[in-house]
Structure 1
Amino acid sequence: MSNYNFSSVYAKHITDLISMKRDFGYKYVTEEFVLYQFDQYVICNNFTFTSITAEVIERWMEKRQNETDATRYSRISALIQLASYMCDIGISNYIPRMPRIPKSDFIPYIYSREEMQAIFKACDNLILSGLHFNSVIIILPTLFRMLYATGIRISEALNLQDSDVHLDENYMVIKEAKNRTDRIVPISQSLSDVCRQYVHYRERLPLKVDKKYFFLSLSGHKCGAKHTVFRWFRLILKNAGIPFTGNHHGPRIHDLRHTFSLYAMEKMTREGSDMYHSMPILATYLGHKSIQSTEHYVRLCRVIFPELERQIEFINQQIYPEPEYGND
């Protein structure tokens, strides 16, 4: 079922496409929003064509003020999917060529080990001022240790249920993740101990409304509002002495995932694994759809830990012996 009321001449085809995609297992949330924008665009411009014409598409493809290349790409991609779907059911449409995928020059913020210790200390020293029954302060020391120690996404952590967290066997099950896949995430004994401490205090809450969820607010409800955690994180960064630059440069909560990934790759490389051989392992652990999503950690690892590059170069030099030249 769609979250929007489509009413343009293409409304039925849009809703049918969304239903088909979700039947195939795709969440199709961002695309649904883009198609709703397109639906409104068609209405505002009084388009009544039964097919999607070049005029409709070319005006839609025009870059908007202050729009990033990535946003424009996603707008065009969603419309091309709709046009292709309509062609498949027998309605002739104009299908433009996809623009090039915009190259990202984004460099994530990598927390140092000293900064992580400062973050943990700031979490442990948080004090709640006033009566805020919906506060999530109780989960923060455990949540941020979990994000750093496992690299899971903030949404994956907040959606954990008690049945997903196996502290005796030291693993968690991540269900319905970003790519609609489930995966098992091993955890360390120290993280299990931290989780047990949290559960001990959580069980003392007077009210537990959403009993099945692992992370609960003081009111006993599921901690589902990520923006609330983000506000606390800004305070934690301030108390930890880590400047927040903003403007998409962070530091962000999601950078804990990047930090985990980089340190995991560094550890595997120092223990003798080849960086590129480590990529499939890390990609599976992180729940990446392909190793291409993991590949940038290799480049980042070489920049931040140049000694690893020299180590690899030394090993490579030993593969082939130096030629010995005789008198022949």
Structure 2
Amino acid sequence: MKQAITMSKTASMTVDGAFELFIRKCKVKNLSENSINSYWQKTIIFKDFVGHETDISTITENTVDDYILYLRDNTKANEITVNSYLRSVRAFLYYCMECNYLERFVVHLTKVEKKIKETYTDDELERLLTRPDIGKCSFTEFKTWVFENYLLATGNRLTSALNVRIQDINFNDGLITIRKTKNRRQQILPLSNTLSGILMEYLEIRGGTGEEYLFCNVYGEKGRSNRTRRICTVSKREDCR
């Protein structure tokens, strides 16, 4: 008698092997480069913790619980950061579950005490928005002031603002075209008269062609988000007026 045909079990898969397939799927879905890089960076500790060559099928809810305790005991991560790591690990593990690499379970985020975010005082806002002396300040200082005014006027995310090109500013119609957004949907924002005047003065100094990025470094190259964050943060200090 012939043996009946049965569904073969999925071959064993290492954590690294499954993660490579997960990243491949992210690229197929056309996720942004920032999202993919975030998955890489925020799962490194988890892969080190469980072992890169460990069979992915051995990962359980208890494994994730042990990982959370490990993060609390061995890193300086607060609960917000722990949850940030968990979201990336959860996306990876849920992908593995969909592929039947491991048994299904729920990855729960930890409870976080919501604290009121520190905001600028009126005095700090006044100093932050005080126009620098054009005759004495550097281009970086002037650009930072312009950038702060731009962010307050538009509410753009940092990445969106840094990807605005000079040609995206329509002074005639009073519009700004935002081409890079988190949901990848272009936006058209109004350009206020105040911001229009600030940008016009800025472009007289900045120069550049329409294809170039609006906010650049001193060499005319695209501004970097980590550098811009640091400058905007320290600019509120009294010694950085």
The TM-score normalised by the length of structure 2 is 0.75
Structure 1 counterpart of 2:141, one-letter code: I
Contact 1:210/1:221 (<8 A) preserved: no
Contact 2:124/2:236 (<8 A) preserved: no
Aligned to 1:289: none
Structure 1 counterpart of 2:66, one-letter code: R
Contact 1:215/1:223 (<8 A) preserved: yes
Aligned to 2:132: 123
* 1:83 alignment partner, one of 70, 86, 93: 93
* 2:63 alignment partner, one of 50, 56, 69: 56
- Alignment partner of 1:189 is 2:196: no
Matches within 5 A, 1:1-328: 9-27=14-32, 28=35, 29-43=37-51, 48-54=54-60, 56-62=63-69, 63-65=71-73, 66-93=76-103, 95-112=105-122, 115-121=124-130, 123-124=132-133, 127-128=136-137, 136-203=140-207, 212-227=212-227, 230-231=230-231, 233-238=233-238
- Give secondary structure in 2 for the equivalent of 1:20: helix
- Give secondary structure in 2 for the equivalent of 1:82: helix
Distance (whole Å) between structure 2 residues aligned to residue 85 and residue 225 of structure 1: 30
Aligned residues: 222
Structure 1 counterpart of 2:50, one-letter code: V
- Give secondary structure in 1 for the equivalent of 2:102: coil
Q: CA deviation at 1:43?
A: 3.0
Cα 1:12–1:49 shift into 2, 3 Å: closer
Contact 2:162/2:223 (<8 A) preserved: yes
Cα 1:236–1:107 shift into 2, 3 Å: closer
Which whole-Å deviations, capped at 9, do the CAs of 1:188-216 have from their partners, x for residues lacking one?
1121111111111222xxxx699511123
Cα 1:24–1:103 shift into 2, 3 Å: farther
Q: CA deviation at 1:83?
A: 2.4
Cα 1:237–1:67 shift into 2, 3 Å: closer
Distance (whole Å) between structure 1 residues aligned to residue 175 and residue 121 of structure 2: 25
Aligned-residue identity in percent: 17
Q: Kindly report the root-mean-square deviation, in angstroms, between the aligned alpha carbons of the 2 structures.
A: 3.2
- Give secondary structure in 2 for the equivalent of 1:172: strand
Distance (whole Å) between structure 2 residues aligned to residue 126 and residue 32 of structure 1: 45
Distance (whole Å) between structure 2 residues aligned to residue 147 and residue 226 of structure 1: 16
| Unaligned residue ranges in structure 2 (runs of 5+) | 1-12
